[in-house]
Structure 1
């Protein structure tokens, strides 16, 4: 909301405030309002960054926390019988016009392989979960930094002023949605955390039934007037401005967010396709209504949310690899297929970029020890993209014969970040924010390379 709009809003409500008792004299309140209008800086929905021509308008990130096993999902490695190389332990078959190999564990997703761009040459800097997960989301391994969603909100703003620009579903860590040193208005809004029952998850602290809408508007105007006065003469107002923007957004969300979270207007057939309400809890797999998350992601994308993260944990399968991987794939397969199908049918897939993957992959099982165990592998693993102008039915990159190391078409997290921002029309290496005496960016000091081969 701009300064001029604030002026109009406050001016038109002064008469109502005159007759409302808040325990303060009207003249004092009028003075506060006048000072707030004079001092309030214009609120910005974007960082004012001039974009390139975008292919996508929004991102849905399907985050598989723990490290999906690439050789048993999308990177087929036939078993050779060689020592210390078992290859893929599940069956694969070819799908789509280009005969792309997909595991038997993902039959519904495989039906959409001609919409997908498989990246089999991913690599990262470390095989430690916490550090690699942080790098995937923020570009940094050790320090708190803004998440990818916050950078995108900072660069592009929101398409719907009544909703956040960035929503994180079922987040396990605040680092997933933190804006860090970016203004707090670009912080992600979490819905459900740590495996919370998604049918009960909501955007907290926005519902208010104790006052009618007009009175709540008066109330927030009064608080914002005091905030504006408090900001007068302060050199650094970024945090306070973020609070002001957050309060305004929270008020506007009261009319939009509850309807988006309510799935009662979806057909029974749609709920079945997404497997809403179906939960699996096997071994290390966390019980989670992943189908509800995917359906909410579609609804938020339709409503204009810029970045939506859908989280599914439990992929850290050191033991019981076959059992737990099968359970995880069963949980995500049909919901992701339904999401792809609906986005395409509604004309949203062409300008929505879907990203699927985790913080690293896993090595193959060791055949001679007879155990169903795997470890961590950050040197070669798989991501996939869909929509947003990427090549469809395409495989980029390759790991070696053991699936342990990317050897062709290598893509680092920094390159992935640069490529995602490029799809949105942003130059990741030039999109910076001044903090602690230097310019920061998502791709870090090293920068990232846009992988142009991924685009049609």
Structure 2
């Protein structure tokens, strides 16, 4: 921009021109430049701002919840890659007799296959390499890989009949997180934030944690926790390990908090003048966004600091919990966040995509996650938080009963399998010590009480007092919802 244009760029807005004269040109341009730099804070939540105008309690929609909720908060432990239900929770002893034999066509039923196993001449059945035993008063079958989870099975509600429509990772993860296989729809947490708001005005209502100690075999994209077409204050905010848990939140070097507050005050005045001129509601959203970011400068370091936890808590979650950013540390941080009334905590752990060397790979995954997962349930329960906190564990699909590639006595792999997989929930309003649905002797097809992804989303929203058919956002002439045009609440899951 030439000097002439710089000199007169505010003269079209009399109030800004007056403010420039009052402050002095150099100070005005300096403050404006800092204000533009502060737009980097906006990358936390994009453009519309974190603190949109409150419409209902906590900033949610008026009239919500639709009915009394059982759940107030959720921790979703997403196991990215597709954990093998056959090696963890869906015990199939009949496979011992079929081991190594070709999967009957009557069972496969012409199901589409991925390109990774479609060209196999046979599909040899692979029994699990791991022993199963029954645990708890519920006598739930659990693999030897999950000894800590086995201790809490009487608090868990297993869904063994999950069904998805997607057979590849990206559309399947996107479908599980947004209710649609194509990118662009709001994430589950964004819908929750939009409908129900937040009880904590100093922290985001939707926080995302990604394990740093995971096998990164499948990528994760920020759109998985994005706001889609909902106002952007509802997208998830990723917390990272290290000295800056949220990007662009800390003050620049040699920049004091009072300086930032003064800059924000001037920026608010500038934006107010601009709003009066143009009437763009996004301007007010940005004002609120900067103010929230300023408050987060103290609230985020406080909540993300685990150093004040006693030794017995670290012992409960495991040694990894002392290392910020690991799955175990993130489980502990998730507990701290929901104690601060963060409504939706989404924890992603990658590395469950075992196409080959499954016995070694899944053993490693369970060693990283089992203790901390069970510890989270125990910790919430002893603090009285499990009563109104929902915990969810599961991936985007299951794994095939047949081996992908060569099957030996000690090694096998499993391909993607959308026809059935296992998830579990615990806490607020679900039946404890309960298993729902069933699969055939091969663990290949659902034989009882199928639960589609849309049914799962509808049931989850129901626990929060939300009618999934009534939580709607109109966009480009169409009314959208998390469950698209489907979904039934599975009442049998509820206590």
Partner of 1:272: 315
| Aligned: 1:73 with 2:88 | yes
- The alpha carbon displacement at 1:211 in A equals 4.4
Q: Please give the residue correspondences for 1:187-202 in structure 2 after superposition, counting only pairs within 5 Å.
A: 187-192=235-240, 198-199=241-242, 202=245
> Is contact 2:185-2:227 (8 Å) kept?
yes
- The alpha carbon displacement at 1:23 in A equals 2.0
Q: 1:258 to 1:67 in 2, by over 3 A?
A: same
| Aligned: 1:222 with 2:222 | no
Q: 1:406 to 1:48 in 2, by over 3 A?
A: same
Q: 1:136 to 1:184 in 2, by over 3 A?
A: same
- The alpha carbon displacement at 1:170 in A equals 1.1
Q: Please give the residue correspondences for 1:266-305 in structure 2 after superposition, counting only pairs within 5 Å.
A: 266-277=309-320, 289-305=326-342
- The alpha carbon displacement at 1:333 in A equals 0.6
> Is contact 1:87-1:402 (8 Å) kept?
no
Deviation track 1:203-257 (CA, whole Å, cap 9, x = no partner) reads 12222274444443232122123223333465763x4444333222111111211
> Is contact 2:208-2:237 (8 Å) kept?
yes
Stretches of structure 2 that go unaligned for 5 or more consecutive residues are: 1-21, 30-50, 104-124, 212-219
Match of 1:103 among 143, 153, 158: 143
Q: Please give the residue correspondences for 1:128-277 in structure 2 after superposition, counting only pairs within 5 Å.
A: 128-170=168-210, 172-192=220-240, 198-199=241-242, 202-208=245-251, 210-232=254-276, 234=278, 237=281, 239-277=282-320
Deviation track 1:376-410 (CA, whole Å, cap 9, x = no partner) reads 00000001000011000000001111111222111
Q: 1:259 to 1:86 in 2, by over 3 A?
A: same
> Is contact 1:276-1:290 (8 Å) kept?
no
| Aligned: 1:47 with 2:61 | yes
- TM-score normalised to structure 1 length: 0.85
Stretches of structure 1 that go unaligned for 5 or more consecutive residues are: 1-17, 26-39, 193-197, 281-286
Query: For structure 1, which segment, 398-407 or 267-276, has the greater mean C-alpha deviation from structure 2 after superposition?
Result: 267-276
Q: Which has the larger radius of gyration?
A: 2
Query: For structure 1, which segment, 173-182 or 205-214, has the greater mean C-alpha deviation from structure 2 after superposition?
Result: 205-214
Partner of 2:487: 448
User: In structure 2, the residue corresponding to 1:332 is in which secondary structure?
Assistant: helix
- TM-score normalised to structure 2 length: 0.78
> Is contact 1:361-1:382 (8 Å) kept?
yes
| Aligned: 1:384 with 2:388 | no
Match of 1:334 among 358, 371, 391: 371
Distance of 1:331 and 1:320 partners within structure 2: 17
User: In structure 2, the residue corresponding to 1:205 is in which secondary structure?
Assistant: coil
- The alpha carbon displacement at 1:174 in A equals 0.7
Distance of 1:66 and 1:229 partners within structure 2: 50
> Is contact 2:126-2:412 (8 Å) kept?
no
Q: 1:369 to 1:265 in 2, by over 3 A?
A: closer
Distance of 2:52 and 2:168 partners within structure 1: 43
Query: For structure 1, which segment, 87-96 or 350-359, has the greater mean C-alpha deviation from structure 2 after superposition?
Result: 87-96
Q: 1:23 to 1:333 in 2, by over 3 A?
A: same
Deviation track 1:36-78 (CA, whole Å, cap 9, x = no partner) reads xxxx994552232421110000110000000000011111111
Distance of 2:436 and 2:398 partners within structure 1: 16
Match of 1:374 among 389, 414, 420: 414
Match of 1:360 among 383, 388, 397: 397
Q: 1:55 to 1:278 in 2, by over 3 A?
A: closer
Q: 1:335 to 1:22 in 2, by over 3 A?
A: farther
> Is contact 2:64-2:196 (8 Å) kept?
no
Partner of 1:64: 79
Partner of 1:414: 454
Partner of 1:306: 343
Partner of 1:399: 439
Distance of 2:492 and 2:280 partners within structure 1: 43
Query: For structure 1, which segment, 249-258 or 221-230, has the greater mean C-alpha deviation from structure 2 after superposition?
Result: 221-230
Q: How many residues get paired?
A: 413
